[in-house]
Amino acid sequence: MEPRRPARGESSHLDGAGAGRAGDDWLVVTSATTVRVLAERLPGLPAGVRVAAVGEVTARAARAVGWTVDLVPDDHSAAGLVRALPADARLVLHPRSDLAAPTLVDGLRARGIDVSEVVAYRTVGTGDAPIPGDPAPDIVLVTSGSIAREVARRLTPLDPRTRIACIGPGTADEARAAGLPVDVVAAERSAEALLDAVVEALDPSTPEQEGHP
């Protein structure tokens, strides 16, 4: 799956949003891709806008483009961000993928926080042909619900030896909903945690082996 970004001159839901809206208290970003797309289209954030990132990976991407990140929830998930955002937030701008789940928006609105959501990018498939599975992979890394659905559509039936590793509990739930068996779930939503979980799954004795950190 690849993000499709609006071409120059093409109409986009981002046009007129964010930089042109005075009074936005928070910009809430839930992926590094969203940060990159916004940074390419906007010369900078409006004065006074605070930034909340769903996790450390997204926060690093935001800092890399020069943004100050004011909030990263302890629970790196949309639900964690809903709980962590201050109750006095007047308005939240949430640029998102067209496939994003409504967890964040619905949760904030349930708290009485005004949310303006815009589509920052669209996710398009790379084809319909089955993905070759010879030799069968030991691990398939699933980092989003859309990837889980593509794996279910193009990689199944899975070889019995193939394990599905998900980047966090939310993605694991979406993978199960897509009909995939979930064998590994990262402790937190980050690439580092996912890789650590995969290493442990492939060799459970490694983390506890004497002499290893």
The larger pLDDT score, comparing residue 27 to residue 21, is at 27
- Dihedral Cα 161, 166, 169, 171, nearest 10 deg: -120
Q: Is the previous residue joined to 3 through a cis bond, with omega within 30 degrees of 0?
A: no
Residues 53 and 120 in one domain: yes
Residues 48 and 144 in one domain: no
Residues 70 and 154 in one domain: no
pLDDT value at position 190?
Answer: 78
Domain of residue 110, residue span:
2-124
**Is residue 129 domain-resident?**
no
* SS3 state at 100: coil
- Per-residue pLDDT at 207 exceeds 70: no
- Per-residue pLDDT at 143 exceeds 70: yes
pLDDT band for 66, please (50, 70, 90 cuts).
very high
Residues 108 and 158 in one domain: no
pLDDT tens sequence across 24-61: 489 999 988 899 999 998 888 888 899 999 988 899 99
- How far is the C-alpha of 171 from the C-alpha of 182, rounded, in Å? 10
Counted domains in the chain: 2
pLDDT value at position 37?
Answer: 92
**Is residue 213 domain-resident?**
no
Q: Is the overall model pTM greater than 0.85, yes or no?
A: no
pLDDT band for 204, please (50, 70, 90 cuts).
low
- Per-residue pLDDT at 13 exceeds 50: no
What would the two tokens of residue 45 be? 């954030």
**Is residue 132 domain-resident?**
no
Residues 37 and 101 in one domain: yes
User: What is each CA distance from 172 to 22, 67, 90, 112, in whole angstroms?
Assistant: 38, 30, 33, 29
Q: Which of 98, 124, 150 is the last residue of a domain?
A: 124
